[in-house]
Structures are given as structure tokens and as C-alpha cells.
Amino acid sequence: MKRNFLISIWMTLATTVLLGIIYPLAVTALAQLLYPRQANGELIQRANGEIAGSSLIGQPFTSAGYFHSRPSAAGAAGYDPMASGGSNLGPTNKALIDRVAGSVQSLGPENPGAPIPVDLATASGSGLDPHISPASAEFQIPRVARERAIKEDEVRALVLQHTEQRQLGFLGEPRVNVLELNLALDSAHPAH
């Protein structure tokens, strides 16, 4: 009995050290060696070296001269990575209907007569989606061009440059990373 007890203690200690310390350190070191950009969160730096954000995490852009991200249901104010997740509200829930209706009402005057892309009025499953659809970017082009006093075709060219296609040609949907697009916009046409 005593022998079995000692074996179980030694096995607990051995697996704790092996799987709780050695393995995580080895995986972290390997990731830093082989994929340092991905292992560090795919951080994006501005021209001056300041970190602007991550290409993997959405963030709010509220100024009219920038492309806006999808609405976020993550946290009380949105875009809270510690509260990542959708609202879990069903399609008949009044709170969801009111939030979407509010988004549609505020977006309508931005581009009168144009259909509002669904991803500009609804939050993503994580609440932190860094991408919008090309249709959402196209919807916002007139506002961004007007606010920056540049031609819509110049803004459209930047959107096309930053549109990512389906992975492997069939996975996912075409998408535009809002942070990368806004940084390129600042670089090419600084806001007034």
C-alpha cells in the first residue's frame, strides 16, 4: 500500500513537471523560434514603431474618416478581449432587434439608398472580428472619401489592395482587415 502511494506521488510530480513546466516551455520556445510574429499575437506597428494593435483582434474606429469595424457584443462597451463572445441573443429577442435597428438607423444616412451590409449591423460570434466584408468596406467608401477630401476611386483602390481572398481558394469569404486598411489610409492620405 505504501509503495503504491509513493508511486502515485512520484507520478503526479513527474507529470506535473513534464506536462506543466517542460512541455509548455518547449512549445513556447519552438513557437518563438519558428513563428515569432504569430506567437506574439501578429502585432502591427505604425511607421514610428508604436504598436497600433493586432491583426487578429478587432477594435473600434469611430471617427468618420476611418473605416468602421463590425459592432461588438464583447463586454459592456464592446471590443473587450476579456469578455469575448457573442450576445447569445436569439433573432426574436427585443434587445437584439433594437440594437440592429439602431445600427441600421445610424448607418442609413451615411450612404442613402445603398443597402446596408449585414455585417455592419450585426456583431460577430466573438465580438472581436478584425474583418469586414468587401461590401461593408464599399458601403463606407463615400463617407471616408468625403471626410478625407479625396476621390472615392483612391479609397476604393486601397480597399482592393487590402481585400484578402478565400484561403486556399475555397475556405472562408473575402474579407478586409479594418486596422490594416485604416493604417494604409493614414499612410497614403493622412486625416485632416
Shared domain for 105 and 21, answered yes or no, is: no
Shared domain for 32 and 60, answered yes or no, is: no
- Angstrom distances, CA of residue 121 to CA of 70, 88, 145, 162: 7, 16, 21, 22
What is the pLDDT confidence band of residue 192, given thresholds at 50, 70 and 90? low
Q: How far apart are CA 5 and CA 115, in angstroms?
A: 70
Shared domain for 95 and 138, answered yes or no, is: yes
Domain interval for residue 24: 2-36
Higher pLDDT, 82 or 21: 21
Shared domain for 130 and 96, answered yes or no, is: yes
Shared domain for 184 and 113, answered yes or no, is: yes
Shared domain for 25 and 87, answered yes or no, is: no
- Angstrom distances, CA of residue 17 to CA of 13, 23, 25, 30, 171: 6, 8, 11, 18, 39
Q: What is the predicted pLDDT for the residue at 6?
A: 92
Q: How far apart are CA 178 and CA 188, in angstroms?
A: 15
Shared domain for 11 and 57, answered yes or no, is: no
Shared domain for 28 and 103, answered yes or no, is: no
Return phi, psi of residue 163, to 5°. Answer: -90, 120
The total of structural domains in the chain comes to 2
Contact 162, 131 (CB under 8 A): no
Shared domain for 79 and 169, answered yes or no, is: yes
Could you read off the pLDDT of 59-115 as tens digits, one per residue? 889 899 999 999 887 777 778 777 777 677 788 888 888 888 888 888 888 888 889
Could you read off the pLDDT of 112-167 as tens digits, one per residue? 888 999 999 888 778 788 999 999 999 999 999 999 999 999 999 999 999 999 99
End-to-end CA distance of the chain: 79
Shared domain for 100 and 31, answered yes or no, is: no
